Amino acid sequence: MLKGLDGDAQAWRVLLSDLAAHLRPFFKRRLFNGESDAEDLVQETLIAIHAKRATWDRNQSFTAWAFTIARHKLIDHLRRQGRRLTEPLDDASVLLAEHTVEDGVMRRDLTRALSILPARQRALIHDVKVTGLSVAEAAERHGYSVAAAKVSIHRSFKALTARFAAGAAGSNDED
């Protein structure tokens, strides 16, 4: 270190090379995922030592000074790592899907329209037509036989058609 500070480039290269050989195991022992992060930390530490070499007090231990920098680099790395998500998202596309005001209005209108149906029929229609379950899956989920579920869906649509067809005809008369 002293020779490097005095301008000996070869001594400086040897110091950094030797120091890297000591820093790798230091970081690997302290990291869970080892190799790549350890190598990144070695490089960050060597850069910091190079950048801050003028702050080293020649009357103090170089090793203690260098490993203090390494320790701080490790702490910074662990802090950054602690802020990362560690569980992968199964399907992040739902989070990135584009939703518009119209989507919200359509959902509200659909909820309003289905609200005239009894809860059990409403849930069956929602599962089959909105969620996309098969009639058999929805029937099993709500305690219907497949035939009874088909009849219930048919009757629900008939009731909705009667209600809203009459409402639409009435609104046309007012226009």
- Mean pLDDT in each 10-residue stretch from start to end of the chain (175 residues)? 83 89 88 79 92 87 89 88 57 56 73 86 88 90 92 89 70 47
DSSP 61-78: -HHHHHHHHHHHHHHHHH
CA atoms 31, 34, 37, 38: torsion sign: positive
The pLDDT score that the predictor gives to residue 137 is 92
Element (DSSP H or E) covering residue 15: helix 9-28
Q: 164-170 long-range contacts, Cβ below 8 Å, gap at least 24?
A: 164/113
Domains of the chain: 2-82 (1.10.1740.10), 111-169 (1.10.10.10)
Amino acid 9: pLDDT: 86
Residue 175 has what pLDDT? 41
Per-residue pLDDT, 157: 87
From residue 91, give the alpha-carbon distance in Å to each of 41, 94, 96, 97, 150.
32, 7, 10, 11, 32
Specify the pLDDT at position 71.
Answer: 92
H or E element that contains 128: none
pLDDT at residue 174 in the model: 46
